[in-house]
Amino acid sequence: MLPFLLKRFGLALVSLLGVLVLVFAMVRLVPGDVVTNLIGLEGNVSPERREELRRLFGLDLPLHVQFGQWFGALLQGDLGTSLRTDRPVLTDLALRFPVTLELTLFALLIALAIALPLGVTAAVNRGKTLDYLASLFALVGIAAPSFWLAILFILLFSLKLGWFPPTGYVLFSEDPLGNLRSLFLPALALGMSLAAATTRIVRSSLLEVLSLDYARTARAKGLPERAVVYRHALRNALIPVVTVVGLQVGNLLGGTVIIEQIFGLPGIGRFALEGINLRDYPVVQGAVLLVAGAFVLVNVLVDVLYALIDPRVRFE
C-alpha cells in the first residue's frame, strides 16, 4: 500500500505544480496586459501612474522572478488582494468555500439517493417498463444542461408550487432547515447528471454480477431473488460505481459555478464570476486555484479509496 500511496501523491504534486504554472500563465494571457485592461475601465492615466501600477503588480520583473515571488507568497497562504475591495483573496475564499462544499456534498447525496434505488430497480426488472423508464431518465438526465434544469425546477417548485425559495442562501447556523431548503433545488439541478450516469452504471454492473457463477450458485441453493440481489450481488456490483462516482465528484465542483450564479448562492463560483466581470484578476486566480486544488485532492482520495476496496489496483 505504501508504494502505491507515495506514487499517487507524487503524481498529484506534479499535477498541482502544473496547475500553479498554468494559472500563473493565464493572467499573462490577457491581451495587452492587466494594467492596460484595468486602466481601460477607469479612463485616462498618465504614463507615470501606469509604470507605478506595473511595478505594483511586479510586471516589470522577469517572468521567473514573478513566478518565484507569487509562489513564495502562496506557500505562506497569501493569494494576493482583491483589486476592487483591497481584501485578502484568501479571506473571501475561506468565507465562501463552505457554501460550495455543502452544495457539492448535498448534490452527491441526492444523486446517490436517486441512482442506487433506480439502478437496482432497473436491473431487477430488466426489459420491463420500469427498466425502460429508468433508461429514459438516464438518457435525458445526462443530456439536459444543469442550468436549464435549474431554471425548470425554479419554475415548477418555487414559482408554481412555492415549496422552495427561488434564490438566496440561508446560513446553517441561523436556520438549519432553511439552509437545507435553500440548497435543495441547486443541489438537485447540480446532481441530476451524476444521478443519471450512476443509474446506468449501477444497472449494468448489477446485471453483470447477477450473471456470474456465485449468483447462479446462490439461486441454485434456493435463495429467493431478493436475497441474491441484496445480500450477494449488490456489494460487488458497487465497486465500479465507486470509481465512476469518484471521477464525477470533481466535476460537480466545477459545475457549482453556474448553479451558484443561477440561485444567487455566495460560493466560490459566483465569487469567481464577479471577479471575471470586474476584471479582478487575483480573485479569479485564487478561486480557480482553490477549486483545481480541491479537484486534485478529491481524485487522490478516490484512488486511495478504490485501492482499499479493490487490492488489485495497488499492484498495477
Partner 1 sequence: MTQTQAAPAARARLLRTVLRSPSALTGGVLVLLVVLCALFAPLLAPFDPVAYNPADRLQGPSLEHPLGTDIYGRDTFSRVLFGARTSLAVAAISITLALLAGGIAGALAGFFRGNVDVVVMRLSDILLAFPAVLLAIALLAFLGGGFWNLTLAIAVVYSAPFARVARASVLRVREEAYVEASHALGNSPWRILFRHVLPNAASPLIVEVSLRLAFAILAEASLSYLGLGTQPPAPSWGQMIADGRQLLETSPWISIGPGLAITLTVLGFNLLGDGLRDLLDPRLRRQ
Residues 6 or more apart in contact with residue 256 via CB below 8 angstroms: 100, 103, 104, 190, 267, 268, 269
CA angle 231, 232, 235 (to 5 degrees): 85
Restricting to residues 216-255, name those near partner 1 by CB under 8 A.
250-251, 253-255
Residue 169 · residue 182 · CB < 8 Å: yes
Does position 284 bind partner 1 by CB under 8 A? yes
Phi then psi for residue 81, to 5 deg, are: -120, 150
Site string for partner 1, 162-201 (x = CB under 8 A): ----------------------------------------
Cell digits for 297?
485532492
Mapping DSSP onto H, E and C, the string for 15-43 reads HHHHHHHHHHHHHCCCCCCHHHHHHHHHC
Restricting to residues 104-143, name those near partner 1 by CB under 8 A.
139-140, 142-143
Site string for partner 1, 55-74 (x = CB under 8 A): --------------------
Does position 207 bind partner 1 by CB under 8 A? yes
- The residue among 83 and 179 lying less far from partner 1, judged by its C-beta, is 83
Which residue in 270, 280, 258, 254 sits closest to 30, CA to CA? 280
Does position 308 bind partner 1 by CB under 8 A? no
CB burial readout 7-35, b (16+ within 10 A) else e: ebeeebeebeeebbeebbeebeeeeeebb
- The residue from 257, 265, 302, 307 that contacts partner 1 (CB under 8 A) is 257
Residues 6 or more apart in contact with residue 98 via CB below 8 angstroms: none
Burial label for 189, CB within 10 Å (0-12, 13-18, 19+), is buried
In three-state secondary structure terms, 163 is coil
- The residue among 179 and 203 lying less far from partner 1, judged by its C-beta, is 203
Number of chain residues interacting with partner 1 (CB under 8 A): 53
- The residue among 27 and 180 lying less far from partner 1, judged by its C-beta, is 27
Does position 305 bind partner 1 by CB under 8 A? no
Does position 311 bind partner 1 by CB under 8 A? no
Restricting to residues 8-27, name those near partner 1 by CB under 8 A.
11, 14-16, 18-19, 21-23, 26-27
Interacting residues toward partner 1 by CB under 8 A: 11, 14-16, 18-19, 21-23, 26-27, 29-31, 139-140, 142-148, 151-152, 154-155, 159, 204, 207-208, 211, 250-251, 253-255, 257-258, 261-262, 272-273, 275-276, 281, 284, 288, 291-292, 295-296, 299
